[in-house]
Amino acid sequence: MENYSKVETITTSSYYDKDGYFHRIDGPAIVHSNGRVEYFIHGKRHREDGPAYFDPISGVAQYFLYDSVCYLPSKDTFFGKRVSNDKEFQQFLKLKTFI
């Protein structure tokens, strides 16, 4: 189990690694009071099982792997390959064609 610290304010809960970077393995590193969540691994936006950034109010979902933008709803490519939904994004993750 990795060590991380949790800091809570009125509007957010944030998790950090020992070096002070946003970090959490088992959930979002930042949880805003309005429901927005952001996933980070050692300071880099990253999530393999869904969007690394999600705002439920606006519906904006952004996908990142180790801080590289993979898929944004306003764009339709995943490292040069066309994806149209979350299921296709998951298929690309399984193939690891981007590494």
Q: Could you report the per-residue pLDDT of 15-64, keeping only the tens digit for each?
A: 999 999 999 999 999 999 999 999 999 999 999 888 899 988 888 888 88
Q: How are beta strands 77-78 and 81-82 bridged, if at all?
A: antiparallel
69-89 tens-digit pLDDT:
776 554 444 455 555 566 766
Q: Token pair of 15, please?
A: 């998790």
pTM of the predicted protein model: 0.69
Q: Are 21 and 40 in contact (CB under 8 A)?
A: yes
Residue ranges per domain, the chain? 5-70
